[in-house]
Amino acid sequence: MSLTTLAIALVISVVGTFAAGLVALWPDPRAHRASNIILAVSAAFGAVVGIYVATGSNVSLIVPEALYPVAADGSAHAWPMFYGMVFGLDRFSAIFFSILSVVTVLVAVYAIPYLEHYAASYNVRSVNALTALFIFGMQGVLLSTNIFGFMTFWEIISIASFFLVLADGTEASRKAGFLYLIITHIGAGAIMSGLFLLSGGALLSDFSVIALVTPELPEVTFSIALGLLLFGFGSKAGLVPFHVWLPEAHPQAPTHVSALMSGVMLKIAVYGFLRVLLFMLPGVPMWFVLTIVVLGVISAIVGVLYAVLERDIKRLLAYSSIENLGLIFTMIGVGLLAGQEGSVDLTQAALYAALFLAASHAIFKTGLFLSSGVIIAAVHSRRLEAMGGLAQRMPMFSVAVCVLALSAAAMPPFAPFMAEWTFLQAVVGALTEATPMLKVALVVILAAVGFVAGLALFAMVKMFAIAFLAKPRTDEAAAAVEPKPGFLIPIVVLAFISLILGLFSPLVLNKIGAVDLAPADLGTQVISTGGGGLAPLSLFLVIAGISLALFLLRRLLSDVKFERSYQTWDCGQPTTPRMEYTATAFSAPIRFFFRFFLRAQKVVTATPLTPNNPWVASRTMSLLVSQVWYDRLYAPIGSGVTRLAGLVGRLQNGSIQFYISLILLALLVTLIVAL
């Protein structure tokens, strides 16, 4: 496909998304379905372009100049009303663009039945329009190549997602929305000021121009800019000290939007961070790399610990996003650290592992959020304790969710395992000839990633088992039925993609540029790094072969029809579904082992039969999982700010004379001091 056709397809995808937003506002009830279909089609175009550019090695930067008005002297210049801004898709942003487009196609398909099912609690037209705007903003960020474009679309993302969080208008979503608004906008401010510091205040300067300017920057402004950028992108990606908004905001948004937010918006933050780090900055000082690694490791551990504790399915997924983002930032940090310390192949392996984990996280996290939407629609509650027995009632759906949950726990045949394998193998490979400081860091990271991988498995098994297995704990769960195809197809497709992405990961890695990570001479079947090799497809075939052999052997050695179904062995006493293990009980050992960090308070209240009759009628146990970061860090800041505001409030005592004298005083001070 020649450049112009690619450019046209790209423009169709972007304009189509915007058009979908406009169509959504049409008062006609059919507009809901139409806008989502347009969104899906335009995203499909985007996916084709993204994948073609990401894998094609020859296409460097598509500037759709075919569509620019040609200036008098024949030189193509950008649309005048865009101040000469140039939009383009290079190989790096194409990876994220294809992730965004693939996810959007499936989310748009999912949105049709979802919003029809929730037509009462959401204003369908505004949610559709805002979702299209949200995706348009993300596309814009990926396409823009200068500060002005980047920041405007970044703002569009923040504003659209803010209103989407408020979509259901409950008090909790309003509170979460404001927290989200505050943190993202402080972050956006930090990014903008960081970029301006780098570019010396030029609003429209191109990223490549900044890359030339940055080497001469004085040390101080350079490190301040880096700090601001880390804070900005970190708060958007949910790194630990700034992660507080993520578990509040994601669950409140409509499910398909929280899938987009968790799956793709966090990757846009990673894209922005990498775009600045790899393409704009000459070299990065050691303290910066170490902070990335430390923040990444801490947010991975905190994310996974709270994911293990959570009993609300969407908050659990949000915390697991924090954990995965923490892993991605650790990989980026280790890549940069290795780059500084001179072990080259660890750098490439770590960075490509980060990219691959980001891509696979987008796939399985979107799938998990969409499936949590289906469960909540069936059970009318987000608490894991109200679910159960869904696997019996929705077999096909539960198989897909089992695949997604196992890929979220980084289990072998699926994509995230390949990313984590590449990273761990590269780290072990680099251990031998690393410098002493790098050795210590790598050992700590090895232990931390192992710890996080273990607990991630715990969290995902808990989520899947408590939600799907055993007997239903509530009547709604008992009445659940297999979801409609509109819900089921996107989730099954996402599970399938996660498997295919895992099996053909060497091919994918080779195509997106990690040539010596998955060398072509081995027929792109093996990922080889740090002295070890992994052939995902043959691994899968071995496992499948063994299972098939066992299946046949069992039929051979025993009579299959000699079977009877009977109630679970209950020691003779009738058992009720309430006796099953709940999410709280399942995670009790971990909560006990890490009680120092987690400070969860268990309150057991025994209610006597009558006030003076000590006989206990019922005993209730409630668990308060305190958000340590929120209570220790954000609450004091919040109360400090409100106290300060109180002081200032006292100034407004209503007397006019007081105000006039203040004005005079201000005038006097400015005249004498300022001028």
Partner 1 sequence: MTLIRLLNLLFFGPKVTAPQKNFTEVKDVDFEAVGQDVKSVIQKLYGGRSLRIRAVDAGSSNAEEIELTALNNAYYDIDRFGLSFVASPRHADILFVTGPVTRNLERALRTTYEAAPQPCLVVAIGDGACTGGIWKDSYAVVGPVEAVIPVHVRIPGDPPSPTAILRGVLHALQSART
Partner 2 sequence: MITTFTSSEVTTIALAVSFLLCAFLGSGKFRLGQIIRYYALQSLFLAGLLVSMAAYGDEHLYLSALGVIIFKVILIPAIISTSAKRSSASGRLTSFVRPAPSYFVSGITLLLAVLAGMSIAPALEETDLILTVTAFAAMFLGGAMMAVRRDLYSQIIGFFTLENGIAILAAATLGAIPLLAEVGIFFTITIGALLMSVLSRRLKELYAVEDTGELRELVD
Partner 3 sequence: MNSIVLTVIQILVVLLIAPLSIGLTRFFKARFQGRHGAVPWLPYLTYATMMKKENVISTSGSWMLRTTPYAVLGSAVFLAIVLPLVATGGALAPSSNFIVVAAVLALGSAFLVMGGLDTGSAFGGMGSSREMTIVSLLEPTVILTFAAFALATGSSAIDGMIAGSSVAGELLITAPYLLLSLLALVLVALAENARYPVDNAATHLELTMVHEAMVLDYSGPYLAMMEYAAALKLTVFALLVANFAMPLPLIMTSSSPLDVLLAVGSTILKLVIMMFAVALLESTIAKMRFYRVQEFLTGAFFMALTGLALALLSQLL
Binders of partner 1 among residues 536 to 575 (CB under 8 A) are 562, 564, 566-567, 569-573
* Residues facing 622 on adjacent strands: 603
- Nearest residue (CB) to partner 1, 175 versus 554: 554
Q: Which of 406, 334, 165 is nearest to 265 (CA)?
A: 165
Phi-psi category of residue 618: left, alpha or beta, with phi > 0 → left and psi -120 to 50 → alpha: beta
Alpha carbon distances (Å) from 316 to 322, 406, 483, 619, 666: 10, 15, 22, 27, 52
Can you give the C-alpha Rg of the chain in angstroms?
A: 27
Q: Which does 466 bind (CB under 5 to 8 A by kind): partner 1, partner 2, partner 3, none?
A: partner 3
Q: Please identify, among the stretches 167-175, 312-320, 470-478, 661-669, the one whose residues bind partner 2 according to the rule CB under 8 A.
A: 661-669
Contact 293, 337 (CB under 8 A): yes
| String of DSSP letters for 109-134 | HHHHHHHHHTTTTS-HHHHHHHHHHH
d(C-alpha 393, C-alpha 482), whole Å: 6
Q: Which does 213 bind (CB under 5 to 8 A by kind): partner 3, partner 1, partner 2, none?
A: none
- Nearest residue (CB) to partner 2, 642 versus 653: 653
510: Cα separation from own chain's centroid: 24
Phi (first) and psi of residue 587, to 5 degrees: -95, 10
- Nearest residue (CB) to partner 3, 36 versus 425: 425
d(C-alpha 407, C-alpha 367), whole Å: 11
d(C-alpha 470, C-alpha 475), whole Å: 14
State the binding string over 624-653 for partner 2 (x if CB under 8 A, else -): -----------------------------x
Least Å distance, CB 649 to partner 2, is 13
Q: Please identify, among the stretches 40-48, 354-362, 637-645, 663-671, the one whose residues bind partner 2 according to the rule CB under 8 A.
A: 663-671
Size of the site for partner 2 (CB under 8 A): 14
Q: Which does 572 bind (CB under 5 to 8 A by kind): partner 1, partner 3, partner 2, none?
A: partner 1
Q: Which does 655 bind (CB under 5 to 8 A by kind): partner 2, partner 1, partner 3, none?
A: partner 2
Tell me which residues in 205-244 interact with partner 2 (CB under 8 A). Answer: none
Least Å distance, CB 469 to partner 1, is 18
Cβ atoms within 10 Å of 189's Cβ, excluding its own: 14
Q: Which does 220 bind (CB under 5 to 8 A by kind): partner 1, partner 3, partner 2, none?
A: none
d(C-alpha 240, C-alpha 288), whole Å: 16
d(C-alpha 346, C-alpha 349), whole Å: 5
- Nearest residue (CB) to partner 2, 60 versus 661: 661
Q: Which does 656 bind (CB under 5 to 8 A by kind): partner 2, partner 3, partner 1, none?
A: partner 2
Q: Which does 542 bind (CB under 5 to 8 A by kind): partner 3, partner 2, partner 1, none?
A: partner 3
Q: Which does 573 bind (CB under 5 to 8 A by kind): partner 2, partner 3, partner 1, none?
A: partner 1
Q: Is the dihedral of CA 169, 172, 177, 182 positive or negative?
A: positive
Least Å distance, CB 617 to partner 1, is 23
Q: Please identify, among the stretches 340-348, 397-405, 479-487, 660-668, the one whose residues bind partner 2 according to the rule CB under 8 A.
A: 660-668
| Structural tokens at position 504 | 């053909």
- Nearest residue (CB) to partner 3, 247 versus 388: 388
List residues near partner 1 by CB under 8 A.
562, 564, 566-567, 569-573
